[in-house]
A and B are shown apart, each in its own frame.
Chain A
Amino acid sequence: MVELVYNIILKMNFIYNKGCDEMVYLTLNQLNDDSKAVVMNINGGSNLVKKLNALGIREGVVLTKESQSFLRGPVTVKIGQSKIAVGYGMAEKILVKLVDDR
């Protein structure tokens, strides 16, 4: 039952996310909801790298994108056990590569 409700909610919200999975490198906000990716590069200054690093977002780490708010809203990602919201501007600077786990 709980599983069912969970899937329905995922489906309902999917309509609002148009990502594209064809490209090899994507920015975090181009990634589809619920897809797994590995961080390839953080395209920003040392301050940004430091901030993201402190929260565990660093090159080589595998994350799952949870959701994206509409109109340049924040991206929520899951890394290990923690969930982190990354503002749109920052998410644009995080380059990731899709991990195919199917």
Chain B
Amino acid sequence: MKVLLFGNPNVGKSVVFSRLTGTSVTSSNYPGTTVEYTEGYLRRGDEVFHIIDVPGTYSLEPTNKAEEVAADMLDKGDIIVNVVDATNLERNLNLTLQLLERDVPVIVLLNMWDEARHKGIDIDKDKLEELLGVPVIPTVAVKGKGILDTINIITSYDFDNYKGIKKMSNEERWSYIGKIIAEVQKISDRKHTFSDVFDEITIRPLTGTLFAVFVLIFSFLLIRIIGEGLIAYVTEPFFNNIYFPFVNYLSSLLGGQGLFHDILIGHLIGGAIDFEQSFGLLTTGIYIPLSAVAPYIIAFYLVLGLLEDTGYLPRLAILMDNLMHKVGLHGFSIIPMLLGFGCNVPAVLAIRSLESEREKFIASTLTAITIPCMSQIAMIFGLLGSFGMKYIVYLFIILGLVWFVLGNILNRVIPGFSSDLLLEVPPYRIPSIATILQKLWLRLSGFFREAIPFVLLGVFIVNILYITGIMGLINHLAGPLLSRIFSLPEEAITALLMGFLRKDLAMGLLVPLHLSAKQLLVASIVLTTYFPCIATFSVLLRELGMKNMLKATLVMFITVFLVGGFTNLVFHEEGLSLNGWIIIILLILLVKKFPEGKENRLEL
């Protein structure tokens, strides 16, 4: 039997889903977390229920991709569990009534029941049940309350006597909802709470902008402190004190050299294993993902989880709306882009929820070109950060400028329309530690599954290419180009090649080259802006299609040569030269003068 979970965005469907099936899925406090449907199973005695978490939708008349998916799913279900936000009954009933107009039997869950109570909203559950003619169950999904009742009602549902309601027009439906609300809901007045005050601070333009700047800087520092801390006190000691003797023993067992030794352990640097430079499968291949990168992945997703679950991100989207319109997007696209700092793959998937082809193209191209993922940032912190924090600041300033200028250009040359922001702002919630840790674990294990095989594969390929001498040939052929444009040694081509597989591995390949701060900055910029890693590439290809992917690739190559070459020309050890700044300012002015007019904000 097929059970469909239907509901407005951000009412906790995914949480109900995890509770029913015992599988973990990501949930966040903003609309649109689930774009594709998720399936799971609930076993009850001999019976198996097939449970499907349908993307959130406000209505059965679809206005975007996620809602289309939802509307298409409807007829495939045997029973619908309609998850309703009890704090927002009126708006949610619109979908409930539309569902009741169809033939599939419905159960209504009044989720976030505790929050509604807390807000002084009193709902007469029995009366609602009577008016709708279907079972109504109060639930608190995050705490697991009411889930057992739900299962019992699903298993004992009386299908034969189900009768929905007659079809209504929009006006009729809203006036019927008005009647229901008047009968079942009582709201007692309450004073402004701390959460309201905080909401005002963060949403109103003046205080909100200040707060947003504070949040972003604080998040950045927090990620850095947690990441550094984990490396210094957990992963480094583990690798140096526990893992090192083990590989060292293995190395001597293999005789310290030879083919096997080179592939497994790598080269000995000054007679000893160096986790960063030896480049064997068991040394650098394990060290990069586990010791250098994983701590930052943990730090990033912890901070992101906090931002997501408190509900701050939609407020950030409102404040960023202006800026995002400059690049042809609207405020909500800041959320996929922030996700991109973790990994570009989920970012590209989240971009799917944007409305037009034009927005999707701009957002994916900008994300792939200008947003380095945490794996790469972790390595940049380690490498470039050793020369001083200011280089990292310069890196992000340059990437930010590229984002802005490139976005402006794309906005002006790409035809099509961009939509306007329309977003429900969820209330602030105090995140539950358990949910955040569970989500962190889900994302971290995803990272391990993705990163470790690819890094190992990359290390293996590099070794084979070196042993067979192919690498030397490539270096000689492509090297001069690299040194002329970017002033990088010809061996850096290996890093660029491996950037296809993993960007963190590519950064790792730069370690033995002993580059200067400037060269590292140029290399970091080139590695960020140039071709996305294979995982990102494949989702981009799937989401954009071949033609747009080729266009994006073209933009990428032009950008990488211009920006890498530019940085190489104008960056001195102390920072950007005066000429550099003048060129940047002229460029921004030029972009402003670019013929406007391709952007049409709304399709009406």
Contacts and interface: CB of A to CB of B under 8 A. Distances in A.
Chain B interface extent, by class: 35 or more
Interface in A76-100: 76, 79-90, 93
A88 to B, nearest CB: 7
A16 B200 CA distance: 14
Contact of A5 (B170, B197, B314, B422): B197
B2 interface: no
B425 A83 contact: yes
Interface in B309-359: 314, 317-319, 321-322, 325, 330-331
Contacts of B322: 69-73
Contacts of B321: 69, 73-74, 85, 87-88
Contacts of B187: 81
A58 to B, nearest CB: 6
Nearest to B200: A9
Chain A interface extent, by class: 35 or more
Chain A contact surface mostly: mixed
A3 B604 contact: no
A6 B196 contact: yes
B416 to A, nearest CB: 15
A2 B197 contact: yes
B252 interface: no
B191 interface: yes
Given A44-B602, A81-B90, A89-B602, A6 B330 contact: no
A93 to B, nearest CB: 8
Nearest to B193: A2
Nearest to B177: A56
A90 B207 contact: no
Interface stretch (B56-64, B389-397, B451-459, B552-560): B56-64
Contact of A10 (B200, B318, B602): B200
B584 interface: no
A13 B87 CA distance: 28
Interface in B42-62: 58-59, 61
Nearest to B173: A53
Given A6-B196, A67-B204, A87-B330, A58 B174 contact: yes
Contacts of B208: 69
A56 B193 CA distance: 25
A70 B194 contact: no
Contact of A56 (B87, B90, B331): B90
Contact of B318 (A45, A47, A85): A85
Nearest to A61: B174
Interface in B83-121: 87-91, 94, 119, 121
A69 B420 contact: no
Contacts of A86: 420-422
A87 B424 contact: no
Interface in A53-72: 53-56, 58, 66-72
A58 B170 CA distance: 10
B244 to A, nearest CB: 53
A69 B323 CA distance: 12
Contacts of B121: 81
Interface of A: 2-3, 5-6, 9-10, 12-13, 15-16, 44-45, 47-48, 50-56, 58, 66-74, 76, 79-90, 93
13 contacts: A3-B192, A12-B204, A44-B602, A54-B59, A56-B91, A73-B205, A76-B203, A82-B424, A83-B424, A85-B314, A85-B318, A89-B420, A89-B601
Given A13-B200, A47-B604, A81-B91, 18 more contacts: A2-B194, A6-B192, A10-B200, A44-B604, A45-B604, A50-B61, A51-B63, A56-B90, A56-B94, A69-B318, A73-B318, A82-B91, A82-B424, A83-B425, A85-B421, A85-B422, A87-B421, A87-B601
User: Which 8 pairs show the lowest CB-CB distances between chains A and B?
Assistant: A87-B420, A54-B58, A87-B421, A45-B604, A13-B204, A54-B59, A83-B425, A89-B601
